[in-house]
Structure 1
């Protein structure tokens, strides 16, 4: 195992190389994935310019919180009190913790060597703002020594009852940007998905029909031009999928046959958001010069977005006497 740290002003980039095929660079800004090199190629999309990485609202590789996804009408109610949230999505809804969410915060960190892994532990206290309570985050990336695996442990506690729903927003391209992600094969352990309104808020949770059914695995592009996706503001997949069996940790498998690379994701969360980069920004990337639509895919394990405003789902509420503890594991082969 090798570890090195590079500083950019007050931001640290921590690179850990294991004893097999994996090299992971994490960033203290947003407790982020910055680069994941597997078999010699970066498998996630990384802006070349650090300023673009820090400030771009595409959330490349960043930790998302205090909540993930969109909250309808930028409003929620906690303990009978109504809260107004920033309208940073289409001027209507609130997205990914708002414009000052933890994605844009610089975390403290420490590095520990354990028997099977090198652990990078990020910590940050998010002070009460438009949501109640100070939230104390502890985010641990376990990079395994003899397995091409990263385990992301997310822990938090709060001083007041509040929403907490944390995920990671890496954009995966197993072809390392050579081809659109449409050729990659996606399998989900999810029989259900959110049926979205034109503001990308779930109207209901429904059983997946052919366009949305990835339980047996198929190319992402197989149904990408279906009217269900294209006659909609999503213009592709931007939907949450709910695990068929919540006790089964399998969430997703992504395969690139030409590269002979597979990513398998397990999680304790009940849902995963699949986003096929339908609203790309034009900039230079490490993998390719100009990003195209469908260049990569985000696979964001989390509680159901907007659950706070829905019935019969986990509302992602954390209370002061509780410990938030969820995991996402990423294994490459």
Structure 2
């Protein structure tokens, strides 16, 4: 690990000013991913701005009738919050599917958005990785790529985004509030993360020095028929090969609204709104779920070791939607 300077900020303004004053600086809260990356010399920030004292650790009602999740609320406190469990059970289920209790007790909501890929080659500084060192190449494309992306890839990167929480936030149409040297702004969750394209080293559309302050959840009718499916190589403490956040709003057996977001398959949580919208008004049935899954995976490409994910993802979507359909029967 390289040497670095450190400052503990006492308010948002100080945090933003402090990180602007130091080239190569990073914010740190729980540190559950950043510290690992620093130990492996993947990231070498020259300065850390500690934001743990900032007043961003509340879950509040917002003007739209939804909830606002403070950036410094831990994943555990979010998942077990009574209002989140009752009104956004999909989010609670997704968070509890990730990491371990110890990590969820430390990891923050804001930090979760900035998780970096778990690609083997990204962590191995002896190998080529365009995400870690732009222009060096992508070792995964012709290498060991079992965990890698099948959608939204480019010739420069086939890494996946690792977060479970973000898959649910994508399905729920969350918004991210940020502040920085140019003031406050709100980012639609679908626009927060990036596909790799020619710049795989850029994970998101947040500028250096901008700080996530909160996440807005809009009012939701997805309180009953929801399910989060995580398919992984072992039952616990593993990242997803494929995950699916599925939610249904039903009138009888007819779909009034439907959400399907996938993790483990792309550089960002994967969702196709136009596909969801085409199933509104249709019967919630296995046959329709299979057709939806086929369309959701249009354009998917495997790279040998991960080609199995294409069929796995289709089956996972059907299973998740059927489980979501059944979940409402027990309420």
Q: TM-score, normalised by structure 2?
A: 0.27
Higher strand residue share: 1
Higher helix residue share: 2
Query: Which protein shows a greater Rg?
Result: 2
